[in-house]
Amino acid sequence: MLFNSWVFLLFFLLVYPAYRFLNHAWQNRLLLVASWVFYGWWDWKLLGLLIGTTFVDWGVGLLLSDPARPHRGRILALSVVANLGVLATFKYLGFFVSQLNEVAALAGAGALLPVLKIALPVGISFYTFQSMSYTIDVYRGQTKALRSFWDFALFVSYFPQLVAGPIERSSALLPQLQAPRSISPAQMDSGSWFMLWGFAKKILIADNLATIVEEVFDAPRSAGGLNALVAAYAFTFQIYCDFSGYSDIARGLSRWFGIELMENFRRPFFAESPRDLWRRWHISLSQWLRDYLYIPLGGNRTGHAQRNLLVTMLLGGLWHGANWTYVVWGGLHGLALAVQHRLGWEPKGRGAKVLGIVLTFHLTVIAFVFFRASSLGGALRFLGSIGQWSMEAEAWIRLKQLLLLTLPLMAVEAVLEWRPQWFMRVPRPIQAVGAGILFWLTLVLGASFGQKFIYFQF
């Protein structure tokens, strides 16, 4: 079920009024049923996979609740193997089998194994990481094991953030689910703004930029230099508005239910360095990788911080999908982080910070070419076409579209970055007029309802 669909609007209109009239216990039951309906709307067969992994991790958590229990490491391994096994089977099995067959072909042998076509369950990378972090936290003594399966199932399945994050921690989300909730007018007001801004980013900006991106990326050989350059910028803004728009909608919806989700994006295009970028972009994933991969690898303590950064980001790239393009995307960011760590560089002074913002942004743009391309060869040809400079007439039209869609966005984000108090001073009537104009622009100029969010494929 898509946020930007009429089906979801009907779903919400049925669920929310009932939620407001129920007590806490029944609110949680309603949210769990609603979350399973929300997820099962894509394919009811895949709902069994979600419930199955939930049941395994709930049981592992109970077994780990006793710190004196022997073989706790092996019990934890059951959760890790189950979650990563599900990911490996549905997301990576076909990729690795095809790579093995290619190596065998180079060696003169035939295909060793058949390549199975397995449907990828939507949101599987998000809910497996969220569920697995719970069992690790229980093992570490950072979270108490839940006795109630239903509370834990709601933690894993909570529908606003189920399929594209943010990846919530048990220490932040579980207490909110377990305690009675009150919903203030301020929460509903701020939640409405989050949803409006998120829908505008998705429908008005991202989905309109998608046309530019698809026309150029799908025919890189015929794209001239300016066309390719515009498309590279367009995809960078498209994926940001698409993904952060989902997070904004999720946060806004959740506030209407009296539950606070973490901030997943913090104006990443104003990042002053690669390190700063990953404190702003997909924050829930970067924190997950830091706490459950980078630090266990040794972090900065072993003298191999650059290696650990590179390994972490390579695996972070692979998390996004079974393609070498994602690995290269992660590797480029890992290399940039390793170089910054090696040099010990942090921009100081206004000039250095401006230079840092420009360089970090363009590193992001170049890396996203690999993220968007269907193959490494396609990404390299696309980058090569930028060097073959030409200024086609349609490229100027696309450039104007890009600027019209992104300059207002960046103006708003610049104010939020450097002068957020300005928005607080805007009188309520003017805020209402602004909200009305944004709503009208989204309806009139936005793309059609029902276009999927990019991160649903991960």
Asked if residue 259 and residue 135 are part of one domain, the reply reads no
Q: Does residue 289 fall inside a structural domain? A: no
Number of domains in the chain: 2
Range of the domain at 451: 186-272+347-457
Is 308 inside any structural domain? no
Q: Are residues 392 and 261 in the same domain?
A: yes
Both 12 and 153 in one domain: the answer is yes
Condensed to tens digits (0 to 9), the pLDDT of residues 130-163 reads 999 999 999 999 999 999 999 999 999 999 999 8
Residue with tokens 């590797």: 331
Q: Let me know if residue 294 belongs to a domain.
A: no
Q: Is residue 284 part of a domain?
A: no
Is-contact 411 394, C-beta < 8 A? no
* 171, amino acid identity: S
Q: Please choose, from the candidates 357, 402, 408, the residue with its C-alpha nearest in 3D space to the C-alpha of residue 228.
A: 402
Tell me the whole-structure pTM to 2 decimals.
0.93
Q: What percent of the chain has pLDDT over 70?
A: 94
33 lies in the same domain as 121: yes
Is 102 in the same domain as 237? no
Last residue of a domain, one of 147, 181, 215: 181
What are the structure tokens assigned to 253, written together? Answer: 């919806």
pLDDT of residue 300: 85
* Whether residue 134 sits in one domain with residue 36: yes
- Tell me whether residue 295 is in a domain: no
Question: Do 126 and 14 share a domain, yes or no?
Answer: yes
Domain boundary among 134, 149, 181: 181
In a domain, residue 202? The reply is yes
> Of 181, 204, 233, at which residue does a domain stop?
181
Confidence (pLDDT) at 221: 63
Catalytic residues: 320
Going 293 to 295 to 297 to 303, the CA torsion angle's sign is positive
Q: Is residue 245 located within the same domain as residue 143? A: no
Same domain (yes/no): 175, 55: yes
Same domain? 40 vs 148: yes
pLDDT given at position 392: 74
Q: Could you tell me how far CA 367 lies from the centroid of its own chain?
A: 16
354 and 253 within one domain = yes
| Cα–Cα distance measured from residue 3 to residue 265, given in angstroms and rounded to the nearest whole number | 19
| Position 361 in a domain | yes
Structure confidence by residue, pLDDT tens digits, 340-363:
999 888 888 899 999 999 999 999
* Same domain for 236 and 176: no
Residue 338 domain flag = no
Low-confidence ranges of the chain (pLDDT < 50): none
